[in-house]
A and B are shown apart, each in its own frame.
Chain A
């Protein structure tokens, strides 16, 4: 049973465009929703995170939108740059375990 569903699997965006990655979860006990960024050959690194009592969190060009009633959250990358090309993972956790989505490979063309 996949607890966190992520879409799309891959995304191609032109430089300056908006990248949007979506995730959905089933377990209403989840209380922390981070996004991780992974470059080829590297380990994932925390990009931005949100708790369910907040509907939106923005850090620079990166924004998380959270819809608690729909059990969905999304990552928006504004003014996408070639350096943003990476794999992005959404995740959800409660207590001691972190559950990841399957990842989205983002390619930003110059």
Chain B
């Protein structure tokens, strides 16, 4: 199993550009989520999904869109990038819909810089 994979590893955008961060898992996990990590801020939940076709907002959803058409994939879209979105983005997945029941498996991260 590859686990949770994220692409790209690094990305530089100009303000106003759009892009999609890809996330895939091969563990047949129902729950997937996106976090951003900023220095001194810990990890903050952006969006999450408890199954295909179901998504919901986390703590910091503004400026980001998600969709979940398959169990395996959970892309994160930035429609109009802003410098405040410069961060390291982590995708995570777990077997059960309730995070309190299961370990979250994190991907290696995508480092995004918005100029």
Q: What residues make up the interface of A, taking CB atoms closer than 8 Å to B?
A: 6, 9, 31-32, 34, 36, 41-46, 49, 89, 93-103
Contact = CB atoms under 8 A, between A and B. Distances in A.
Contact of B40 (A41, A45, A102): A102
12 contacts: A31-B100, A36-B104, A43-B92, A43-B106, A44-B90, A44-B104, A46-B103, A96-B97, A97-B58, A97-B59, A97-B99, A100-B42
Interface of B: 4, 31, 33, 35, 40-45, 48, 50, 56, 58-59, 90, 92, 97-101, 103-104, 106-109
B42 A96 contact: no
Contact of B42 (A45, A94, A102): A102
A109 B28 CA distance: 41
Contacts, number: 64
A32 B31 CA distance: 16
Contacts of A45: 106
Contacts of B104: 34, 36, 44, 46, 98
Given A98-B104, A102-B41, A43 B56 contact: no
Contacts of B107: 43
B50 A96 contact: yes
Contacts of B59: 97, 99
Closest 9 CB pairs between A and B? A43-B106, A32-B100, A102-B42, A100-B42, A100-B43, A46-B103, A93-B100, A93-B99, A98-B99
Contacts of B50: 96
A95 B98 contact: yes
